[in-house]
A and B are shown apart, each in its own frame.
Chain A
Amino acid sequence: MAVSAIFGAKVNRREDPRLISGTGTYASDVALANMAYAAFLRSPHAHAKIKRIDAEKAKKLPGVVTVLTGKDIGSKLNPVPCAWPVTGADVKIPKYYPIAVDRVRYVGDPVAVVVATSPYEAADALDAIVVEYDPLPAVILQEEAMKKGAPLLYEEVPNNIALHWKIGGGNVSDAFSNAEVTIKERFVNQRLQPTAIETRGATAQYDPSTGMLTMWVTTQNPHVHRLLLTLMTGIPEQKLRIISKDVGGGFGSKIPCYGPEAVVALLAKETGVPIKWVEDRHENYVATIHGRDHVQYVELAGKKDGTITGLRVKVYSNLGAWLSTAAPGVPTILFGLILPGAYKIPNVECEVYGMVTNTTGIDAYRGAGRPEATYIIERLVDIFAHKIGMDPAEVRLKNFIPKDKFPYNTATGLAYDSGNYEGALFKALGMVSYDNLRRELQMLRSEGKLVGVGISSYVEVCGLGPSSVVRSTGFALGLWESAIVRVHPSGKVSVFTGGHPHGQGEETTFAQITASELGVLIDDVEVIHGDTDRIPFGMGTYGSRTTPVAGGSIVIACRRIKDKGKKIAAHLLEAREEDVQFDSGKFFVTGVPGVSKTLAEVAWASYGAGSNEIPSGMEPGLESTAFYDPPSFVFPFGTHVCQVEIDKESGQVKIKRYVAVDDCGKQVNPMIVEGQVHGGIAQGIAQALWEEAVYDEHGNLLTGTLSEYAVPTAVELPKYETTSTETPSPHHPLGLKGVGETGTIASTPAVVNAVCDALSPYGVENIDMPLRSDKIWRILKEKGISK
C-alpha cells in the first residue's frame, strides 16, 4: 500500500493472527518455575461479622504453602484506594481492606487466601478452612440503603451515603413553572456484569537480589495499576514492574486495582516463590466490579411546539460494598455533565446520591455514566414527542444544537467541540426511508402487528481528557498520554505508547498513524505497550481516549522527529533548514525533489553523529518523547435507528433492522471503527433486552455464571447497517474523536424507544430494562393483547 494512503485505510488488524491462533499471552498463560497458586476464600454472606477463622487443618494439607487471613495481613497492606474523590461532592471513602478483617460486606468478599503448589490443592485447602460468621442484616438496593434504620456498612459512612453531588445551570425551577408540558418518569438503569472473556488474574515474582517485584496483570492501565499497587503494598514504584501483554477484554472492569492483586504481590514477597492467581468465571462475576445500577427520577419541561426548556434529574446510584478506583466519578462527572445530550437545553439540574450496599462494587462499564445519561434524555425526548403528538425525529431536529453553533457551551459546563447532529440524523432516517417506514408500520399495526421504530441521537464526551479539567473534578491524575517514537539507525521505527489497547486495535491504528506521519511502511513500525519498564508513564485505555489522546502523543512525537530530521537533512544536503521539506518519508530541498535524503539516511546520520552528519551542538539519535495533554474533550455523536417487532404471544422482541450513523471525526481505519461500533451496539442491545445482574434478598448473586447471566450471541443480534459522517475535532492534531463506547451509549435507548413505540398505541409509556419476554408478555396480558 502506498505510504501516503495508509491513514484512513482498512488495514487488517495486526494483533488478530496471534489472538485467533491461540498464541497471545494472557494472564493465565504466564508460567514460571516453582510457581505456587493462590486462591481466595470468599464470604457466603452478604453481611456478617467474622467470629473465628480456623485454618489449622487447611495448613496441614499436602501442597499447602500458607494460609493468610485479614488479621494475618494486618498493616502489611493498605486499604484499596479510590482515585476519584469528586471535587464539590460530599464523598466518604470507607476503609476497605484487601482481605476482610472482622466483617464481610458482600457475597464474595475475601476472608482468607491460600497458597498451594497446585490450584487443585489450593481449592482443597479452601474447603478445609472453617469460618464462623455472625450474620448481620444486609441491604441490597440503594434506595433501601439510605433509609433510616437500614443496616450500616461502615461507621464512617452515615446512612450508607458515600456520595452526594449536585450540578446545575440556568434556572430550572422557572423552566418548570413556565412549562406548557412536563414529564415525570422513574427509570431504572439496571446493574450489569462486565463480561470480559478473560477473567482477572495476576502473577507476581519477587527477586530478592534486586528487590524488584514483577507482576503480570490483566489491566487496562499498567502504570496506574502500578501506582495503586504501590499505595496498597508500599513497594516503591521503581521496584515494581507491571507487564500486561494481551488483555482479553476489560470494558472498564480492568481499570480498577483490586485487593487480591496486592495480596498476590505481598505473597510473592513473603513466600519467595512466584504466585499466580486467576479468577474463575463465578469469582469474576462476584468479585470484579459491576456497572450502572441507577434509579433515576427524571423530569422534562417543554413547550407544545416541541421545544425542551428544562431537565431535572435525581439519581440514586448503587456503589456496592466498596468505592472502587473511579467509582465516585462515574455517576457524577461522567454522567451529569452530558445529560443535555445533543440538545440546546438551557436549564439543567442534576443531583446524585451514591450508596454503599452489600453487593459487588460498581465502577466504570463501557460507556461509564454516559449511557445512563443518554438513556434519560433519549427516552424523555420520545415520551415528550408522544405526549405533544409530534414525531420523535422532529422533536430531535427542533432541539438539536445547530451545526454553526460550535463550540457550544452546555448548561452543565461542557464545551462541545464540533457537531452536525442533523446531518447524522438525516442520514440515518434516509437509510430507513423514515416516512415510508412510519407508513408501513402503521399498516402492519392495522393488521394487528406489534411493530415500532426507535431513534437515539447521542453525543459522547470522551478522549479523557484535558488534565486541568480532569484534575479540577478531583481525579487523582491528569489524563494526558505519552509516547516515545524511536527511529532506529536502519530507519525502522518503534512506538512506545502509554495507552494499552486490549481489543480496540491500536497496535494497528498507531502503526498507521506513525507510518503516515513518517512516511515509512506500516510493517516497519512496531507498537509496544503494556510494560511499565518499557513504555513511558502512561494512563492507559478507557473512556474512548486511546486513539485521540495516545494517538495525539504519537503524532506530536513524530512531528518532533521530522523537525529534527529536517535540521539533519539540511546539514547533509548543505541547504538551509527553511528550504527543506518532508514528504512521504523523504527530506528534500524545495523545488528540487531529486535532491533528498530518506528518513533512514537521516536516522543513520543521527546515530553516527559525526560532524559531517549532524549539525554541531545537536544531540545524537532520532527519537522523541511526547506528552499530549488534549486541550479539550472530544465529542463524537450520531443517530441510531432500531426497528422491532414484538411476538404477541410470547412477548419476545425481535430486532428487524438496525441502522447506525456515527461520527467520530477522521477515521484512522474505518474497518476498526466499524468493529468498535458493532461490539458497542451488541453490548447496548444486550442491556436493553437481556442482561441484568440479579440479587436475591440475601445478597446472593443469582446471575453468577454464564448460564444465568444472559449475554446474547450472534443468533439474537441483528445485522448492523453502519455508516458515518465526518466532522473532525477542531482541536485535535488529526481531527480524531473516540469511538470505543459510542455503540453502547447509543443503542440501548434506540431499542427501548422502539419497543415502547410498538406498545404506545396501547398506552404504554415506559418499561424498565431489560425488556425480557416475560416482562413484555405481562404487559401484553394486562393490556388484553395476549392471553
Chain B
Amino acid sequence: MYPKEFEYASPTSLGEAVALLKKMGPDAKVLAGGQSLVPLMKFRLASPKYLLDINGISNLEYIKENGKFISVGALTRHHSLERSELVKQKLGLFSETASWIGDPQVRNNGTIGGSLVHSDPAGDWGSAIIASRALLKIQSARRERIVDSDHFFKDTFTSAVAPNEILTEIRVPVPPDGGRSAGAYEKLERKAGDFATVGVGVQLTLSRNRKTFEQAGIGLTSLGPTNLRGKKAEKALVGKNVSLETIEEAGTAVSEEVKPTDDVLRGSAEYKRAMARVFLKRALTRAARKAGASGV
C-alpha cells in the first residue's frame, strides 16, 4: 500500500494549474479529494509521475444559483452538497445522492468533480447529472468548453475530460416551478458505504395539474459500462398520466435498456436488471409524491 514516487505540485489558481498540466503532459494526474486516486496509487494500479493538487485553488469549491442554473464548483465536497440548504430546496436529487456516497470520511474529502472525472459506472454522481441534464464546464490551457451530461461519460473510467483539462463546474438547470418538480435517488447496497448494486436517480417535473409527467430524467448507476441514461424509461413517462401503471411501464422499459454484468459479490445481471425496475419505481413514486402527485 505504498505508492511509487511522484512529483507534487500545488497551484493556487486555475490558470497556473492548467499551465502546469500542459507542461507535465499525460503523466500528470489531478488530485482532488483523493478518495479514488489515492487508493489506486497505493495499490500501484495508477502511478502518475506528477500529482497536481487542486485543493489550493480557492474558487473551485462553491454552490451558487445563477439564474437558470445552480452552479457547483468541481471541488465541492459530497458533504457540502448533502448539507446545502439551497440544494435541499431546489435539487433534492443532489442532496439525496450525496447522502448515499461512502461514509462520512469519504463524503468530507471526496468531490463531485473527482467522482465524475473518475467515471466509475458505480459512482452515484453520474446518475444525478444525467437525470438533471447538467452541463459540465471543462478548462484547458487553451480553452474552456461545455459538455452536456449525455456526452460526458465515454467509457468505464473514461470521461470527456482530457489529461490536460480540468473539470471546473457542474451546472445544473434549476427545475421548473419548484413545487411540481422533484428528484430522488434510490440505491441498493449490501451495506452502508458500499458501492451501488444498482442506483437510480430521477428528476421529474409534473404538469401544473400534477396529472401528467411533463419532464423526466433518469440516470442509472452500476447498470452498464458507464452511468446510463434511462431513455426508454423516460419516454415511457413523458406526457403520460401520473399513475402506478405508467410507473410500472417505465420500470419495464428500464429493465430492458440496462446493460448490467454478472457480479459474484453483488448479484447477477438478471438480478440487477430486476432491481433497476424495482428501484426506478421507488424513485419515481417518491419523486412524484414530492412533486405533489396523488394516487401513486
A residues with CB within 8 A of B = 119-120, 122-124, 127, 280-282, 649-650, 652, 690, 694, 696, 702-703, 707-708, 710-716, 772-774, 777-778, 781, 786-787
In chain B between 194 and 237, which residues have their CB closer than 8 angstroms to a CB of chain A? 194-195, 197
B88-115, CB under 8 A of A: which get 1 and which 0?
0000000000000001000000000000
Cβ-defined contact, A713 with B264, below 8 A:
no
Known: A280-B1, A649-B278, A715-B192. A708 touches B265 (CB 8 A): yes
Cβ-defined contact, B1 with A690, below 8 A:
no
Contacts of B266 in A (CB 8 A): 774
Whole-angstrom distance between the alpha carbons of A669 and B44 in the complex?
A: 47
Which one of B59-67, B146-154, B239-247, B267-275 is at the A interface?
Answer: B267-275
Cβ-defined contact, A710 with B188, below 8 A:
no
Cβ-defined contact, B195 with A707, below 8 A:
yes
Cβ-defined contact, A710 with B265, below 8 A:
yes
Cβ-defined contact, B274 with A777, below 8 A:
yes
Residue in A281, A696, A773, A786 whose beta carbon sits within 8 Å of that of B188 in the complex: A773
Whole-angstrom distance between the alpha carbons of A715 and B266 in the complex?
A: 18
Cβ-defined contact, A713 with B191, below 8 A:
yes
Contacts of A786 in B (CB 8 A): 274
Contacts of A694 in B (CB 8 A): 264-265
Cβ-defined contact, B2 with A120, below 8 A:
yes
Task: Count CB-based A-B contacts (< 8 Å).
Answer: 68
B7 at the interface (CB under 8 A from A): no
Q: A123-B44, A714-B192, A786-B274 are in contact. List 20 more A-B contacts (CB 8 A).
A: A119-B2, A120-B5, A123-B1, A123-B2, A123-B4, A127-B44, A650-B278, A650-B279, A690-B190, A707-B195, A710-B190, A710-B265, A712-B191, A713-B191, A713-B192, A716-B191, A774-B197, A777-B271, A777-B274, A778-B271
Cβ-defined contact, A650 with B1, below 8 A:
no
B1-12, CB under 8 A of A: which get 1 and which 0?
111110000000
Shortest Cβ distance from residue A701 to the other chain B in the assembled complex, whole angstroms: 12
Whole-angstrom distance between the alpha carbons of A660 and B217 in the complex?
A: 47
Cβ-defined contact, B194 with A710, below 8 A:
yes
- Can you pick out 10 interface pairs between chain A and chain B where the beta carbons lie within 8 Å of each other? A123-B1, A280-B1, A707-B194, A707-B195, A711-B191, A712-B191, A713-B192, A774-B197, A777-B275, A778-B271
Whole-angstrom distance between the alpha carbons of A281 and B42 in the complex?
A: 11
Main secondary structure of the interface of B (DSSP, over half): loop
Whole-angstrom distance between the alpha carbons of A716 and B266 in the complex?
A: 16
Whole-angstrom distance between the alpha carbons of A282 and B44 in the complex?
A: 13
In chain B between 32 and 47, which residues have their CB closer than 8 angstroms to a CB of chain A? 43-44
**Chain B count of residues within 8 A CB distance of the other chain:** 26
Shortest Cβ distance from residue B189 to the other chain A in the assembled complex, whole angstroms: 10
Shortest Cβ distance from residue A768 to the other chain B in the assembled complex, whole angstroms: 15
B193 at the interface (CB under 8 A from A): yes
Contacts of A777 in B (CB 8 A): 267, 271, 274-275
Contacts of B264 in A (CB 8 A): 694, 696, 702
Residue in B1, B4, B267, B275 whose beta carbon sits within 8 Å of that of A124 in the complex: B4
Whole-angstrom distance between the alpha carbons of A711 and B195 in the complex?
A: 13
Contacts of A714 in B (CB 8 A): 192
Whole-angstrom distance between the alpha carbons of A778 and B271 in the complex?
A: 8
Cβ-defined contact, A716 with B274, below 8 A:
no
Closest to A649 in B: B278
Shortest Cβ distance from residue B289 to the other chain A in the assembled complex, whole angstroms: 18
Cβ-defined contact, B265 with A703, below 8 A:
yes
Closest to B275 in A: A650
Shortest Cβ distance from residue B279 to the other chain A in the assembled complex, whole angstroms: 8
Whole-angstrom distance between the alpha carbons of A703 and B194 in the complex?
A: 13
Cβ-defined contact, A690 with B267, below 8 A:
no
Whole-angstrom distance between the alpha carbons of A694 and B263 in the complex?
A: 12
Closest to A781 in B: B274
Contacts of A787 in B (CB 8 A): 274
Closest to B192 in A: A715
Shortest Cβ distance from residue A723 to the other chain B in the assembled complex, whole angstroms: 28
Shortest Cβ distance from residue A461 to the other chain B in the assembled complex, whole angstroms: 32
B104-138, CB under 8 A of A: which get 1 and which 0?
00000000000000000000000000000000000
Residue in B4, B103, B191, B193 whose beta carbon sits within 8 Å of that of A690 in the complex: B191
Cβ-defined contact, B194 with A716, below 8 A:
no
Whole-angstrom distance between the alpha carbons of A710 and B191 in the complex?
A: 7
Whole-angstrom distance between the alpha carbons of A652 and B267 in the complex?
A: 12
Shortest Cβ distance from residue B7 to the other chain A in the assembled complex, whole angstroms: 14
Shortest Cβ distance from residue B157 to the other chain A in the assembled complex, whole angstroms: 15
Shortest Cβ distance from residue A622 to the other chain B in the assembled complex, whole angstroms: 51
Known: A119-B2, A713-B191. A773 touches B267 (CB 8 A): yes
Contacts of A280 in B (CB 8 A): 1
Contacts of B5 in A (CB 8 A): 120, 124
Whole-angstrom distance between the alpha carbons of A694 and B268 in the complex?
A: 15
The 4 closest A-B pairs by CB, nearest first: A774-B267, A715-B192, A280-B1, A123-B2
> Which residue of B43, B191, B197 has the most chain A CB atoms within 10 A of its CB atom?
B191
Contacts of B279 in A (CB 8 A): 650
Whole-angstrom distance between the alpha carbons of A122 and B4 in the complex?
A: 11
Closest to A714 in B: B192
Whole-angstrom distance between the alpha carbons of A282 and B266 in the complex?
A: 20
Whole-angstrom distance between the alpha carbons of A122 and B2 in the complex?
A: 9
